[in-house]
Amino acid sequence: MAKKQKKNGGGTPATVALTAAGTPFTLHAYEHDPASPSYGEEAAEALGVSPDRVFKTLVADVDGELMVAVVPVAGQLDLKALASAVGGKRAVMADPAAAERTTGYVRGGISPLGQRKRLRTVLDASASEHTTVCVSAGRRGLEVELSPTDLAALTSAVLAPIGRA
């Protein structure tokens, strides 16, 4: 995979963070359809990538603390498993406005990388089955492909089975 960056230092906070860390990644852009019912499945189809390799970034509230859950777009987040993975009791999906405000990204473009306030992250264990995975690069219509090992390292993620079909 080639590392991509703009010469002028531009890009999204996610790509800036990847470049600053010296992490190899590939950027994939596609034409986002605002009418698409699922941002993640749209990305998988547009990129011709299996939906089990494209991961969505969800923000949840576990016992009053916002955190990030990264799961395959083909499935759903298991909130009980997320709470258990971080030693919590109860998890609910975060208010979308709070998720946007805290991460600095808009819904459908929230990246686990380069967030305004770094949140604790849990990456679904299925990511380790792949050589590379795709996650949002920080805006709708832009995905970044990188190794799950690098993704976990850059986000200090806990790997746990938090996704379900």
User: Could you give the count of Cα atoms lying within 13 Å of 18 in the half-sphere of its Cβ?
Assistant: 32
Which distant-in-sequence residues (6+ apart) come within 8 Å of 8 by Cβ?
A: none
Model pTM above 0.85? yes
What is the full per-residue pLDDT of the chain (165 aa) written as tens digits? 444 433 334 589 999 999 999 999 999 999 888 888 888 888 889 999 999 999 999 999 999 999 999 999 989 999 999 999 999 999 999 999 999 999 999 988 999 999 999 999 999 999 999 999 999 999 989 999 999 999 999 999 999 999 998
Question: Which residue, among 157, 135, 138, 158, has the nearest Cα to 146 in the 3D structure?
Answer: 135
